[in-house]
């Protein structure tokens, strides 16, 4: 089973690299245009009113315990543990460089077609607004199917997402992604 996970990861990685190289080698020409006639400056009485200040950005982090959706998936955090330094056992065991933040999540496919969930697409955000990627090896050690799962519409799976963070990090939110290209949905962890 683990051989297929490794092969799949390599195939996805190589495909991504080929795509990036293709984008990087794409050159575009620069077009220079000349400006047309310049209009006269309006008098002070014709000046438009000063722009109103922009509204402050709204809080885009859902409260802890909320169900959030991104793409075809709905995510609900069911538990958060911090301080574990080793997960799994034997060959699949993984030692943290700092400590693990283990986030238990229920994931449901609320869409109309099958979709693959990838644990490596999820991001932990701390109180300093730093972003931490999920640990591929720790997720493989914690979950029966590794760090990804195919979900048909209406199916649900419970997973544990492991983030290897420095000791003392204060997690505040997770940004869940239905795919690597989606915008993500943030939810508070506590």
**Domains along the chain with CATH numbers:** 61-188 (2.60.40.1240)
The answer to whether 35 and 44 are in contact (CB under 8 A) is no
With 0.75 as the threshold, say if the pTM is over it: no
Residue position matching structure tokens 């885009």? 60
Task: Give the pLDDT band (50/70/90) at residue 20.
Answer: very low
Q: Is 20 exposed, middle or buried, given 0-12, 13-18 or 19+ CB atoms closer than 10 A?
A: exposed
Give the phi and the psi of residue 109 in degrees, each rounded to 5. -85, 105
Torsion sign, CA atoms 1, 5, 93, 178? negative
pLDDT for 131: 98
Task: Give the pLDDT band (50/70/90) at residue 13.
Answer: low
Please give the residue that has the higher pLDDT: either 54 or 13. Answer: 13
Please give the residue that has the higher pLDDT: either 2 or 139. Answer: 139
pLDDT for 52: 44
C-alpha distances (whole Å) from 130 to each of 8, 28, 112 are 29, 34, 34
C-alpha torsion angle, residues 73, 155, 79, 185 (rounded to 10): 0
Residue 83 predicted with pLDDT over 60: yes
Tell which phi-psi region holds residue 22, choosing left (phi > 0), alpha (psi between -120 and 50) or beta: alpha
Helix (H) or strand (E) holding 18: helix 2-25
Highest mean pLDDT among 1-5, 26-30, 56-60, 85-89: 85-89
């Amino acid at each position: 089973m683990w051989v297929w996970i490794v092969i799949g990861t390599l195939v996805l990685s190589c495909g991504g690299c080929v795509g990036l190289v293709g984008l990087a080698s794409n050159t575009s020409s620069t077009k220079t245009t000349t400006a047309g006639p310049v209009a006269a400056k309006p008098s002070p009485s014709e000046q438009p009113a000063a722009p109103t200040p922009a509204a402050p950005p709204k809080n885009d982090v859902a409260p802890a315990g909320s169900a959030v959706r991104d793409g075809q998936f709905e995510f609900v955090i069911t538990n958060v543990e911090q301080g574990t330094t080793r997960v799994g056992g034997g060959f699949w065991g993984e030692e943290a460089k700092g400590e693990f933040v283990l986030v238990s999540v229920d994931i449901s496919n609320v869409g109309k077609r099958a979709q693959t969930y990838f644990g490596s697409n999820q991001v932990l955000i701390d109180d300093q607004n730093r972003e931490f990627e999920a640990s591929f090896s720790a997720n493989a050690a914690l979950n029966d199917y590794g760090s990804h799962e195919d979900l048909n519409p209406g199916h649900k799976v419970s997973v544990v997402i492991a983030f290897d963070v420095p000791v003392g990090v204060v997690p505040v939110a997770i940004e869940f992604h239905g795919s690597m290209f989606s915008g993500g949905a943030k939810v508070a962890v506590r």
